[in-house]
Amino acid sequence: MTQEAHVTQGPLTTEAGAPVADNQNSETAGAGGPVLVQDQALLEKLAHFNRERIPERIVHARGAGAYGTFTLTRDVSQWTRAKFLSEVGKQTETFLRFSTVAGNLGSADAVRDPRGFALKFYTEEGNYDLVGNNTPVFFIKDAIKFPDFIHTQKRDPYTGSQEADNVWDFWGLSPESTHQVTWLFGDRGIPATLRHMNGYGSHTFQWNNEAGEVFWVKYHFKTDQGIKNLTQEEANKLAGEDPDSHQRDLREAIERGEFPSWTVQVQIMPAAEAATYRFNPFDLTKVWPHEDYPPIEIGKLELNRNPENIFAEVEQSIFSPAHFVPGIGPSPDKMLQGRLFAYGDAHRYRVGINADHLPVNRPHATEARTNSRDGFLYDGRHKGAKNYEPNSFGGPRQTDRPLWQPLPVTGGTGNHEAPSHAEDNDFVQAGNLYRLFSEDEKSRLIENLAGFIAQVSRDDIAERAINNFRQADGDFGKRLEAAVQALRG
């Protein structure tokens, strides 16, 4: 739909529909006199303007989005009963929001930061949200550490700036972050555009089929445009010259008809294999090596329509990993478990209890039938229907079939670490990743890390940070130590 289609003919009105006589001059007590409180057009306009922004997201505030389609190219019914994955060739409308993690709403796009990759499928069984990143792993493995981690990435409450001391103090004391930090400071830490990067579900999720069999799954979205990245120098220049570079590139590509696409793959693990797998399959700081579980191509994601209003459709869009559909569910991943609560709670605070009523958030291929009523922005959709269940007035009823299969649990309650598997430690996969890099990639990684660590004010924090990389790979640590010492004099 074009912008011209939304042009409204007729007189300018107030929000109540009354015509506005003069939109150029406010009402005053005589020429040059004070403005009158009775000028409701003025007060309404100013009051609305003051409220045109909602609280920005604490994380992932800086974002861009587009609508598209997911097309299934492989029969996956042996693993899941989700209807949108039930028939080869079936298409599902989607909305994808990209974002940086640490920066605020006004920050630049071309910065070294993970990119959020939040995908909403508007399925006939309700909306399914897959909330991931452009990296297959993350910095921490338990949601209880998430607020602390984000505090280190945000502005210090005293200085008002991001502080290298805070960042490296936390990462050094949290060796589980070593794998993700190696990703972040490598070549893929600053994508050239949003179109030229991969996406990942990152977490492990449950798929279950009609027979009730359970499988663990990881999602991969491989860019069909090819991977392209920026060096730190290129990013610094671009961020200063065009802070909106990534958002502009995505919008203009779609306007030109150059629709970006991603090949969708999954890794599938039969549930029975999880307990004895060499790594904890639910640890967000680990990947499943492809030689263990080769990615299987299942579909194509294409973005082909821009939002018509960024605020309404990008800023007010909400995503929650708790939005599942039949055949898909959570895993014991402790980061995922925390996010099942935290994302929905953030949106209820930020956008409001009825955020799901907004067009970008409500189901497109079915309708929501709940007994929730009232609250801010309630649209009266239920009219005179009863707001309780069970009822004898034809209200919606439960299906008696859970969306996912139950998991057996044992042991006492308590603050438990996740179970350790045979090859679990905080450094092995970071070392494996380092050794995959070419010599040029290693050099750039060392340069990027050293430039940031050298800003740390205390030697013990810098040494602890370096030691994590030393444990991942001896050469990695040795070269990084030398580079930091050269910069610190």
Residues in CB range of 298: below 8 A, 6 or more apart:
72, 73, 74, 76, 85, 264, 265, 266
Count of C-beta atoms within a 10 Å radius of residue 387:
13
Q: How far apart are CA 219 and CA 456, in angstroms?
A: 36
Query: What are φ and ψ of residue 331, in 5° steps?
Result: -120, 175
Q: Are 288 and 215 in contact (CB under 8 A)?
A: no
The separation between CA 408 and the C-alpha centre of its own chain, rounded to angstroms, equals 30
**Active-site residue, from 6, 104, 133, 432:** 133
Phi, psi torsion values for 406, nearest 5 degrees: -70, 155
Separation CA 140–CA 152 (nearest Å) = 13
220 as an active site residue: the answer is no
Pick the catalytic residue: 23, 50, 60, 432?
60
Determine contact, residues 114/98, Cβ cutoff 8 Å: no
Sheet strands (E) in 12-147: 63-72, 91-100, 115-123, 126-133
| 6 has catalytic annotation | no
Distance separating the N- and C-terminal Cα atoms of the chain: 60
Tokens of 305: 């329509």
**Residue pair 70/94 in contact by the 8 Å Cβ criterion:** yes
**Residues forming the active site:** 60, 133
